[in-house]
Structure 1
Amino acid sequence: MKWRVMAEVTGEDGAVTRHVISEGERTEVGQAATLGLSLAEGKATLSGLQRVLVTAQADTHCRRRRQCSHCGALRPLKDHRTRTLVSLFGTVEVRAPRFGPCHCGVACRRSLTPVAEMMPDRCTPEYERVLAEMGSALPYRRARALLADLLPLDTAPDVETIRRRTLQVGARLERAALVPPDEGSPAPAQAITLAIDAGHVKSVRTYQMRSFEVMIARAAKDEGQEVVFGSMPAEADRQVKQLHHVLRRLGATASTPVTILSDGAEGPRSLAGAASCGPVRHVLDWFHLSMRVQHVAQAVKGWTAAEPAAAERTVPLADAVSRVRWRLWHGQTERALGLIGDTLTDLDALLDTADDRQVRKVATLLRALEIYVVGQANLIIDYAAARGRGDPISTATTESTVQRLLHRRMGANQQMRWSPRGAHRMLKVRTAVMNGTFAADHAAAEPYAGRPFRPAA
């Protein structure tokens, strides 16, 4: 059995041209391995079809641009060159004629290269977008190998090409994020919950710190729609304004109440408060508060394991820690602080009759819990009642977002070190991919590409 794939192109003048794209032969048709096209044949077919279409479109555009828009005469031909276009379906080399200025001298007074207008970056926007998306999801070498296996590229892009284009797209997304959203695009939200937390990325050795902080926020409105925001404060361009636009696109107005969940640190709280549009209510995240209590409970359990004979002293202590957790869960801050103070007094009395190391460890953690609760007392709410109402009380979803955005691609387990600028631009791409808006955001950021060729006159 023989087969042939042909393309028929009809020009503007009605002329029809036919091109043979690919052809093949099957001698054995009763085997699964010979059913349909193989990967190599599919690549060759797509590459041939892309070559025919790009060549036909380039010729049509050149004929249109050669005619002067003022007098209708044809511009004189200056010379012929070639230009290469890299796409997802292969590399195409087309003829690129240059035309001199028209003799009327009105419409254009410089040489004109129509093919350069079509291919300012010598690649298609889709090729750049896919490279950036793959480079943000996988290490650059793995992304290169995957693209080479699946796409009909003549030569797989270099690792440096994938890295450079990914970070260039991230820089464009950063500039596009400063553009205010269209008025009236989303419906006004009844309420918005903004959970914000910080993650850490290991820095390059030339940076002044071992790691740097990255802000991760997850905003959700009453209908359940969620948007993720990520930024590195030292590299962000007007970070507050960017987060403000994210809330605006989610439906925030001047009257929309915003509940901000955080671990109580001043940085995330101030960023979220400054970016909010309406009235703000700060709530201490139950996850971080509960983990502080859990550290004390673990220390008491470790004391019991180290000294089985001290069980008669640790059992009341463990019961006191459990009651502290219960009081904090129900928002009884004063009662919890009173119980912590009584427990610390009992621990001080045990210093002369028990192992100083174990007692001091529990006392240190309990005193740190007391300081934390005192500092965040105005942010602690009745978590039990809030959970009964269905209100958010934890940034656990934001913790998972930190894991997905940072640790899976940029974490220490990847054995990678990042510069603050590179990490910030990579985070912009990963955030857009996670929100499912990368294609639209990439198209909206095209005006900030800084292409090397000016628009044609």
Structure 2
Amino acid sequence: MQLTWTITLQRTGGGLPAETRTAARYQRSVGPPRPADVGLCRSEGQELVAALQSAVVQDQITAHDHRGRSCHYCGRYRRIKDWRGRQIDTALGRVRVRIPRVVTCQCLPEPLDEEGEITALRDSESTVERLLPKRRTPEVSYLCAKHGASSPYRTAARAVCEVTGLPRLSHATVRSETTSCGEHIEDEQFEIGWFALDRAGGQPDPAQHLRVSIDGTVITSANKVEFSKFEVIAGRVERDGHPGRRFACAMQRRSLTRVLIAAALGMF
């Protein structure tokens, strides 16, 4: 005697016909009690989530393709040229989907290069390119940046694989996502600090907290130069938690370097 569970997935809306499919089926025997048979094991749960994720992603791709199939210029319905397989990294594992490419409409204007010359017109294009620009979801990018900021990149890559169930993730991907996230945050905060005075329309209020970050090094100059060494100082000031302007100076005398740094700090 066995217990059977059948999990079905029903799709409606999105301009697509309704469809019902079987996502998974599980069985458990009703016999001598075995603790190992209680509930779903981890592999069964991962298979269920993977099947659900694959179905959802593929249906989204099909719906977006159906919506963007018409030409943006003349409205003519474009036919599919071919289907191409793609692997998408998601927070619930790696899914394999089929991406359609449609034939380019002949009403499109001839493309021009930077010099104004006519270039070759692509005979096909993807209607879902904007939906999957990096072949991984933003949640995976967030996990890469989160773990990459607090641990070595190879260790972070293994941690992301354990969390998401991805079979493999390159440490270069983690480094790229961490760097991109850091640059975005720094540029955003720097813009706030840089234009704070302009937005206020006058003199800013006295800062409650100032944090100064200063770093320096000594560089040896080339041959046949008047000075054999000179010191380079770079710094940044955070005003009430918002990064302000950066400053840097390169002088051959330490006393002049101190004077310039003091003048830069006086601006804040």
Q: TM-score range by the shorter chain?
A: 0.5 to 0.7
SS across alignment from 1:92: strand
Which TM-score applies when normalising by structure 2?
Answer: 0.65
Alignment equivalent of 1:44, drawn from 44, 47, 59: 47
Q: Which is bigger in relative contact order (C-alpha 8 A, separation at least 6)?
A: 1
Instruction: For structure 1, list consecutive stretches of 5 or more residues without a partner in the other structure.
Output: 201-211, 221-226, 231-237, 241-264, 277-457
Indicate the residue corresponding to 1:138 in structure 2.
Answer: 151
Distance 1:58 1:107 in 2: 28
Q: CA deviation at 1:266?
A: 6.6
SS across alignment from 1:146: helix
Which TM-score applies when normalising by structure 1?
Answer: 0.41
Matches within 5 A, 1:40-79: 40-79=43-82
Q: CA deviation at 1:199?
A: 7.5
Contact 1:75 1:103 in 2 (8 A): no
Indicate the residue corresponding to 1:9 in structure 2.
Answer: 11
Contact 2:86 2:96 in 1 (8 A): yes
Q: Which has the higher helix share?
A: 1
SS across alignment from 1:117: coil
Q: Deviations over 1:73-107 (max 9, x none)?
A: 21243333222221121222222222223244369
Indicate the residue corresponding to 1:169 in structure 2.
Answer: 181
Contact 1:83 1:115 in 2 (8 A): no
Alignment equivalent of 2:24, drawn from 7, 22, 25: 22
Distance 2:161 2:133 in 1: 24
Query: Match of 1:72, as an amino acid?
Result: G
Query: For the pair shown, which has the larger CA radius of gyration, 1 or 2?
Result: 1
Alignment equivalent of 1:193, drawn from 209, 217, 221: 209
Contact 1:85 1:91 in 2 (8 A): yes
Q: Which has the higher strand share?
A: 2
Q: Deviations over 1:240-278 (max 9, x none)?
A: 6xxxxxxxxxxxxxxxxxxxxxxxx7787555543x3xx
- Mapped pair 1:126 → 2:127: no
Indicate the residue corresponding to 2:128 in structure 1.
Answer: 115
SS across alignment from 1:116: coil
Instruction: For structure 2, list consecutive stretches of 5 or more residues without a partner in the other structure.
Output: 112-120, 217-231, 248-257
Distance 1:99 1:145 in 2: 38
Matches within 5 A, 1:270-285: 272-274=265-267, 276=268
Say if 1:95 and 1:31 are closer, same or farther in 2 by CA, change over 3 A. same
- Mapped pair 1:156 → 2:172: no
CA RMSD of aligned residues (A): 3.9
Q: CA deviation at 1:122?
A: 1.4
Matches within 5 A, 1:247-326: 272-274=265-267, 276=268
Say if 1:40 and 1:99 are closer, same or farther in 2 by CA, change over 3 A. same
Matches within 5 A, 1:101-112: 101-105=104-108, 110=122, 111-112=124-125
